[in-house]
Amino acid sequence: MIVVDLIRNASGDIYAKLIYEPKKNYLLMKWIGPCTQEEVKTGSLRMLEWQKKEGVRNQCRFHVHDTKEIEGAWAGLVDWISNYFFPENYKYGLMFNISILSPDIFSKLSSLELQKRNNKVTTILVETISQAESWILEKGNKG
């Protein structure tokens, strides 16, 4: 795995880690602790920047969001993700968003709401990174 970016809040604390897994060809965003909606947006835009440059070149079709350690709702961003973030990433080859569900009920509800949307980028919900990687390998082998 290659650490692409460590994303910090105004206090200098890391709240997200952006990691590329070249062997399985997916981009992972590991969210950590409490995040404001603006911080989630900022971190997500770093994913888009990567997808535009590296994702296109590597034909990366999968983004994984590990929300197991995130705290709080990001439901206010579901429209932004559906109407801007996913369509922009789709232009650069993204096909699937895999969310590793948080035990935090508000974060989990946000993920469920995102999955219900009819997006160009399909959202898959899993419980672990192992399940996400298995899904990627199975889907990747089917083209």
Per-residue pLDDT tens digits of the chain, which is 143 residues long: 999 999 999 999 999 999 999 999 999 999 988 888 899 999 999 999 999 999 999 999 999 999 888 776 677 888 999 999 999 999 999 999 999 988 877 778 888 888 898 779 999 999 999 999 999 999 875 54
Starting at the edge strand found earlier in the chain, the sheet holding 122-126 runs 2-8, 14-21, 26-34, 62-71, 96-100, 122-126
How many domains does the chain contain in total? 1
Q: What is the pLDDT of residues 8-47, one digit of tens each?
A: 999 999 999 999 999 999 999 999 888 888 999 999 999 9
Q: Which domain holds residue 89?
A: 6-64+73-130
Residue 139 belongs to a domain: no
Verdict on whether the full-model pTM lies above 0.85 = yes
Residue 143 pLDDT: 47
Residue 143 belongs to a domain: no
Residue 16 belongs to a domain: yes
3-state SS class at 104 = coil
Residue 122 belongs to a domain: yes
Look up residue 35 and give its two tokens.
């995040």
Residue 103 belongs to a domain: yes
Residue 138 belongs to a domain: no
